[in-house]
């Protein structure tokens, strides 16, 4: 999936160093909203083991993770994944983050729309959903901008890095 400006590159072991660098540059944000990712990035070895486990899930068609790259320089701008794919419905959950210096430039909108197209057109999923922490206003705005509708508000649904359980908004989008 490419455009002249950006591309989605499937996350594989070959890209572990690039992914680790992206995580390390954004630890403050990721500790709050991606605690599992941060826990698995203590060393390059632990991150490679994490990616290897995700590659197994990709083969099982339960997870699809992508680095968001600048189309010219191939610099990592962010990460987006389709996870918790459930084929009985069929549906999946989106999660994403952008490097702090690339927020507010339309890259998140492009990436969410690109993975939505991939999910609906190529995988033929019927529904996508997002769980967004109540405090993550930018992510809530992005979901709505990309056509996701708020479907609910879930109390104490997500565990932060501090151990605190927080409320999240549930956003969904169905294939037309």
Residue pLDDT, tens place only, 21-51: 999 999 988 988 888 888 888 888 999 999 9
Q: Does residue 53 sit within a domain?
A: yes
CA-CA distance, 116 to 120, in Å (whole number)? 6
For 121-171, the pLDDT digits (tens) are 999 999 999 999 998 999 999 999 999 999 999 999 998 888 889 999 999
- Output the domain CATH number for residue 51: 3.40.630.30
Q: Which of 146, 62, 79, 61 lies closest to 112, judged by CA?
A: 146
pLDDT, tens digit (0-9, with 9 covering 90-100), for 82-110? 999 999 999 999 999 999 999 999 999 99
Whether 11 is in a domain gets the answer yes
Full residue range of the structural domain in which residue 29 is found:
6-128
Instruction: Let me know if residue 140 belongs to a domain.
Output: no
Kindly state whether residue 123 falls inside one of the protein's structural domains: yes
Model's pTM, two decimal places?
0.92
Of 98, 56, 57, 49, give the one whose Cα is nearest residue 75: 98
In a domain, 144, yes or no: no
Check pLDDT > 70 for residue 3.
no
In the prediction, which pLDDT does 2 show?
47
Q: Does a structural domain hold residue 167?
A: no
Structurally, the chain folds into a number of domains equal to: 1
Task: Say if 110 falls within a structural domain.
Answer: yes
Per-residue pLDDT reduced to its tens digit, 12-26? 999 999 999 999 999
């Amino acid at each position: 999936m490419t455009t002249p400006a950006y591309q989605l590159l499937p996350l594989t072991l070959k890209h572990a160093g690039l992914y680790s660098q992206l995580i390390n540059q954004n630890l403050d944000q990721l500790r709050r909203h991606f605690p599992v990712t941060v826990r698995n990035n203590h060393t390059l070895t632990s991150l490679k083991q994490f990616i290897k486990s995700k590659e197994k899930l990709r083969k099982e068609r339960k997870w699809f993770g992508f680095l968001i790259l600048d189309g010219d320089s191939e610099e990592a701008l962010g990460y987006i994944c389709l996870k918790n794919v459930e084929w009985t419905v069929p549906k999946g959950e989106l999660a994403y983050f952008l490097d702090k210096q690339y927020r507010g430039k339309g890259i998140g909108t492009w990436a969410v729309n690109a993975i939505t197209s991939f999910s609906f057109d190529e995988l033929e999923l019927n529904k996508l959903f997002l769980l967004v922490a109540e405090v993550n206003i930018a992510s809530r705005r992005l979901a709505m901008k990309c056509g996701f509708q708020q479907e609910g508000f879930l109390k104490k649904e997500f565990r932060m890095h501090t151990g605190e359980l927080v409320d999240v908004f549930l956003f969904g989008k169905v294939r037309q």
